[in-house]
A and B are shown apart, each in its own frame.
Chain A
Amino acid sequence: MTSVCDEITYKLSAYLDNELPDEEKSKVEAHLKACPSCQRSLQKLKKSSELIATALSDRPAVDFDKAWENIEARIHSRPTIWQYLRAFMARPGFWIPAGAVGAVAMLLVLCLPIYKSQPSANLSHVESVSSKTGRVMVLQTAKTSQPLIWIMESPPKEKHI
């Protein structure tokens, strides 16, 4: 290939697109008539152009404009709390520690009423009481909450004459 061919090959794309001035267009056409190599180059270029044009002319399977609108809307919108939660819960390894924390919390909640219902271990208190002479009350003293057991003895039975 000669340097002229190099120069012509460089201009072939513009020639194909009809972008060359008339003078240069005439030069290229004159060269093409006499140069089989440059003719082949032109043919290749034409084929490539036709392929690209065909690909572009096909209707796309995806509406890219609409898709881009959606993407842009999501980029600019703020995620809701539920989206944050969903994303957090979808993290790998979330459920095992979360389940363990939940189990411990449930254990605490279940044991707290039992613990609270037990008499305080910091005070003396009455575990059981029984009386054969009357009723019994279990009270607490005013200031220090000491246990106070009060026995109310039954009155003696009246004698009937």
Chain B
Amino acid sequence: MKPTYLLLIALAALFLLVNAPPAVANSGFIADVEVINALQTSDEVDPELSGLASEVGPVLSYTGFKLLKKSRLPLEIGGTRELLLSQDRRLTLKLEGFQANQARLNLKIFKNHTEIFATTLLMIDHGSAIIGGPKLKKGVILLRIEGKFD
């Protein structure tokens, strides 16, 4: 085969390799949700939150991290789960589906019955995301969502 045609085939193969999506066949997603109180007035870090402290601390200047609640929410495609965050706030998680190697997760926070926050996350297997900011006692609430494909 002429070198020119070999070069053409090599270029086409390289292009496909770069852009081809991996084959994924997942039906569920298991979300571990941690509700955390982050403080600037304390240096105490719960042992299971030491990783979080090193990730978030430099970005947000919080030094104390206390785990308030931890829940596991198994989700199927199209399914929704609820988690009570406080007396007047609740969290809903919905698995919308999978694309390439990411799970599309819709997350909403309600205060009383009013939606105050919504986000769509694209989560990789064993990936995580953190949402924070609402005031709690002398610090703020952090929500850490870690997920793995089922």
Asked whether B55 lies within 8 Å of A132 as measured between CB atoms, the reply is no
Given contacts A130-B117, A132-B114, A142-B58, contact A152 B133 (CB under 8 A): yes
Is B25 an interface position by the 8 A CB rule? no
Tally chain A residues at the interface, Cβ within 8 Å.
40
Q: Which residue of A lies closest to B60 (CB)?
A: A150
Given A141-B130, A146-B55, check contact A151 B8 (CB 8 Å): no
**B133 contact from A107, A142, A146, A151, Cβ within 8 A:** A151
Q: How many residues of B contact A (CB 8 A)?
A: 43
Give the shortest distance, in Å, between A99 (CB) and chain B (any CB): 11
B89-131 vs A, Cβ < 8 Å mask (1 yes, 0 no): 0000000000011101000000100111111111110011111
A131-B107 Cα distance, complex, nearest whole Å = 12
Q: Is A132 a contact of B127 with CB atoms below 8 Å?
A: no
Q: Which residues of A contact B131 (CB under 8 A)?
A: 148-149, 151
| Chief secondary structure at chain A's binding surface | mixed
B134 → A minimal CB distance (Å): 6
Chain B residues lying within 8 Å of A151, measured Cβ to Cβ, are 117, 131-134
In the complex, 18 of the A-B residue pairs with CB atoms within 8 angstroms, ordered by the A residue number, are: A111-B15, A121-B102, A121-B124, A126-B119, A126-B120, A128-B120, A132-B116, A133-B111, A140-B59, A147-B130, A149-B119, A149-B130, A149-B131, A150-B132, A151-B131, A151-B132, A153-B133, A153-B134
